[in-house]
Amino acid sequence: MDLDLARGLSQEANTKIVLFVMDGLGGLPHPGTGRTELETANLPHLDSIARESACGFTVPVGTGITPGSGPGHLALFGYDPLAYNIGRGVLEAVGIDFDLRPLDVAARGNFCTIDQEGRITDRRAGRISTEDSARIVDGLRAIPLNGAQTFVEPVREHRFVFVLRGEGLSAAVADTDPQAEGVTALAPRATSAEGESTAALVSSFIEQAQPYLRDKSPANMLLLRGFARRPEWPAMGEVFKLRAAAIAHYPMYRGLAKLVGMETLPVGPSLADSVTTLRANWDRFDFLFVHYKYTDTAGEDGDFERKVAKLEEVDAVIDALVDLDPDVLMIAGDHSTPAVMAAHSWHPVPFMLRSRHARADECDRFNEVALLHGSLGTFPAKEALPLAMAHAGRFKKYGA
Amino acid sequence: MDLDLARGLSQEANTKIVLFVMDGLGGLPHPGTGRTELETANLPHLDSIARESACGFTVPVGTGITPGSGPGHLALFGYDPLAYNIGRGVLEAVGIDFDLRPLDVAARGNFCTIDQEGRITDRRAGRISTEDSARIVDGLRAIPLNGAQTFVEPVREHRFVFVLRGEGLSAAVADTDPQAEGVTALAPRATSAEGESTAALVSSFIEQAQPYLRDKSPANMLLLRGFARRPEWPAMGEVFKLRAAAIAHYPMYRGLAKLVGMETLPVGPSLADSVTTLRANWDRFDFLFVHYKYTDTAGEDGDFERKVAKLEEVDAVIDALVDLDPDVLMIAGDHSTPAVMAAHSWHPVPFMLRSRHARADECDRFNEVALLHGSLGTFPAKEALPLAMAHAGRFKKYGA
ipTM of the complex: 0.87
pLDDT per position as a tens digit, B373-393:
999 999 999 999 999 999 999
Cα(A211)–Cα(A221) distance, integer angstroms: 9
Give A196 to chain B, closest Cα distance, Å: 42
Q: Are A334 and A349 in contact (CB under 8 A)?
A: yes
Q: How many CA atoms lie within 13 A of A314 on its CB side?
A: 27
Give A361 to chain B, closest Cα distance, Å: 6
Element at B200 (helix H, strand E) = helix B196-213
**Helix, strand or coil for residue B99?**
coil
Give A376 to chain B, closest Cα distance, Å: 8
3-state helix/strand/coil string of chain A? CCHHHHHHHECCCCCCEEEEEECCCCCCCCCCCCCCHHHHCCCHHHHHHHHCEEEEEEECCCCCCCCCHHHHHHHHCCCCCCCCCCCHHHHHHHHCCCCCCCCCEEEEEEEEEECCCCEEEECCHHHCCHHHHHHHHHHHCCCCCCCEEEEEEEEECCEEEEEEEECCCCCCECCCCCCCCCCECCCCCECCHHHHHHHHHHHHHHHHHHHHHCCCCCCCEEEEEEEEECCCCCCHHHHHCCCEEEECCCHHHHHHHHHCCCEECCCCCCHHHHHHHHHHCHHHCCEEEEEECHHHHHHHCCCHHHHHHHHHHHHHHCHHHHHCCCCEEEEECCCECCCCCCCCECCCEEEEEEECCCCCCCCCCCCCCHHHHCCCEEEEHHHHHHHHHHHCCCECCECC
Buried b / exposed e along B76-89 (16+ C-beta atoms within 10 A) = bbbbbbbebbbbbb
Cα(A305)–Cα(A282) distance, integer angstroms: 34
> Does the beta-carbon distance from B338 to A357 stay under 8 Å?
yes
Reported confidence tier of residue A171, pLDDT bands at 50, 70, 90: very high
Give me the pLDDT at residue A360, please: 77
**CB within 8 A of A247, min separation 6: which ones?**
A265, A267, A274, A277, A278, A281, A288, A289, A290, A291
**CB within 8 A of A386, min separation 6: which ones?**
A1, A6, A78, A395, B62, B63, B64, B65
Cα(A264)–Cα(A241) distance, integer angstroms: 17
- For residue B94, pLDDT over 90 is answered with no
Give me the pLDDT at residue A251, please: 84
Largest interatomic CA distance in chain B: 74
Give ∠ CA B128-B129-B132 in degrees, rounded to 5. 90
Give me the pLDDT at residue A312, please: 98
How many CB atoms sit inside 10 A of residue B206's CB? 19
Instruction: Starting at the earlier edge strand, list the strands of the sheet with B263-264.
Output: B263-264, B244-247, B287-292, B17-22, B328-332, B349-355, B53-59, B377-380
> Does the beta-carbon distance from A396 to B338 stay under 8 Å?
no
Write out chain A residues lying below 8 Å of B69, CB-based. Answer: 399-400
Give backbone dihedrals phi and psi of B112, rounded to 5 degrees, phi first. Answer: -140, 170
Give me the pLDDT at residue A353, please: 98
The closest CB to that of B369, out of A5, A362, A390, belongs to: A362
Radius of gyration for the alpha carbons in chain A, expressed in angstroms and rounded: 23
Closest chain A residue by Cα to residue B91 = A400
Cα(B104)–Cα(B153) distance, integer angstroms: 14
Chosen for mutation from B296, B344, B372 (greatest number of chain A CBs closer than 10 Å) is: B372
Cα(B210)–Cα(B222) distance, integer angstroms: 8
Give me the pLDDT at residue A91, please: 87
Buried b / exposed e along A53-89 (16+ C-beta atoms within 10 A) = bbbbbbbbbeeeebbbbbbbbbbbbbbbbeebebbbb
Write out chain A residues lying below 8 Å of B72, CB-based. Answer: 399
How many CB atoms sit inside 10 A of residue A344's CB? 22
- For residue A237, pLDDT over 80 is answered with yes
> Does the beta-carbon distance from A390 to B62 stay under 8 Å?
no
Reported confidence tier of residue B338, pLDDT bands at 50, 70, 90: very high
Give me the pLDDT at residue A267, please: 94
The closest CB to that of B81, out of A383, A390, A399, belongs to: A399
Q: Which of A212, A68, A247, A194 is nearest to A139 (CA)?
A: A212
Give A355 to chain B, closest Cα distance, Å: 12
At B238, which amino acid appears? E
Mean pLDDT of A349-375: 95
- For residue A69, pLDDT over 90 is answered with no
Give A228 to chain B, closest Cα distance, Å: 33
Mean pLDDT of A7-21: 97
What's B360's DSSP letter?
A: P
Q: How far is CA A319 from the centre of its chain?
A: 25
Q: How many CA atoms lie within 13 A of A222 on its CB side?
A: 30
Closest chain A residue by Cα to residue B35 = A360
Chosen for mutation from A240, A351, A359 (greatest number of chain B CBs closer than 10 Å) is: A359
pLDDT per position as a tens digit, A263-277:
999 999 999 999 999
Mean pLDDT of B67-77: 95
Give me the pLDDT at residue A281, please: 97
Give me the pLDDT at residue A95, please: 83
At B26, which amino acid appears? G
Give me the pLDDT at residue A156, please: 85
Give backbone dihedrals phi and psi of A253, rounded to 5 degrees, phi first. Answer: -80, -35
Chosen for mutation from B63, B82, B382 (greatest number of chain A CBs closer than 10 Å) is: B63
pLDDT per position as a tens digit, B264-275:
999 999 999 999
- For residue A291, pLDDT over 80 is answered with yes
Q: Which of A1, A2, A18 is nearest to A391 (CA)?
A: A18
Reported confidence tier of residue B164, pLDDT bands at 50, 70, 90: very high
The closest CB to that of A399, out of B28, B70, B345, belongs to: B70
Proportion of chain A above pLDDT 90, given as a percent? 90
Reported confidence tier of residue B351, pLDDT bands at 50, 70, 90: very high
The closest CB to that of B63, out of A359, A362, A379, belongs to: A379
> Does the beta-carbon distance from B61 to A390 stay under 8 Å?
no
Give A80 to chain B, closest Cα distance, Å: 14
Mean pLDDT of A239-256: 93
Mean pLDDT of A112-132: 94
**Helix, strand or coil for residue B88?**
helix
Give me the pLDDT at residue B251, please: 85
Q: The dihedral of CA B324, B326, B332, B334: what is its sign? A: negative
Reported confidence tier of residue A200, pLDDT bands at 50, 70, 90: very high
The closest CB to that of B372, out of A362, A379, A388, belongs to: A362
Give B301 to chain A, closest Cα distance, Å: 17
At A219, which amino acid appears? A
Mean pLDDT of B186-209: 96
Give me the pLDDT at residue B156, please: 85
Q: Which of A37, A82, A129, A73 is nearest to A293 (CA)?
A: A73
Q: Collect all residues from A whose CB is shorter than 8 A from any CB in B.
A: 1, 5, 9, 357, 359-362, 373, 375, 377, 379, 383, 386-391, 395-400
Mean pLDDT of B124-145: 93
Give, rounded to a whole angstrom, the gap between the first and last alpha carbons of chain A: 20
Give, rounded to a whole angstrom, the gap between the first and last alpha carbons of chain B: 20
- For residue B97, pLDDT over 90 is answered with no
Mean pLDDT of A17-38: 97
- For residue B91, pLDDT over 90 is answered with no
Closest chain B residue by Cα to residue A55 = B372
Closest chain A residue by Cα to residue B350 = A375
Mean pLDDT of A173-179: 94
Rounded to the nearest 10 degrees, what angle do helices B384-391 and B69-76 cross at?
A: 30
- For residue A87, pLDDT over 90 is answered with no
Mean pLDDT of B35-51: 97
Largest interatomic CA distance in chain A: 74
The closest CB to that of A400, out of B61, B68, B345, belongs to: B68
Write out chain B residues lying below 8 Å of A375, CB-based. Answer: 348, 368, 372
What's B53's DSSP letter?
A: E
Give me the pLDDT at residue A102, please: 87
Cα(B90)–Cα(B325) distance, integer angstroms: 36
- For residue A125, pLDDT over 90 is answered with yes
- For residue A235, pLDDT over 90 is answered with yes
Give A37 to chain B, closest Cα distance, Å: 26
Give A374 to chain B, closest Cα distance, Å: 8
**Helix, strand or coil for residue B255?**
helix
The closest CB to that of B91, out of A9, A396, A400, belongs to: A400
> Does the beta-carbon distance from B369 to A361 stay under 8 Å?
yes
Mean pLDDT of A150-170: 94
Reported confidence tier of residue B87, pLDDT bands at 50, 70, 90: confident
Rounded to the nearest 10 degrees, what angle do helices A69-76 and A384-391 cross at?
A: 30
Q: What is the mean pLDDT of chain A?
A: 95
Mean pLDDT of B171-184: 93
Give me the pLDDT at residue A355, please: 97
Write out chain B residues lying below 8 Å of A5, CB-based. Answer: 62, 82
Write out chain B residues lying below 8 Å of A393, CB-based. Answer: none
> Does the beta-carbon distance from A399 to B28 stay under 8 Å?
no
The closest CB to that of A398, out of B29, B61, B338, belongs to: B61
- pTM for this structure? 0.89
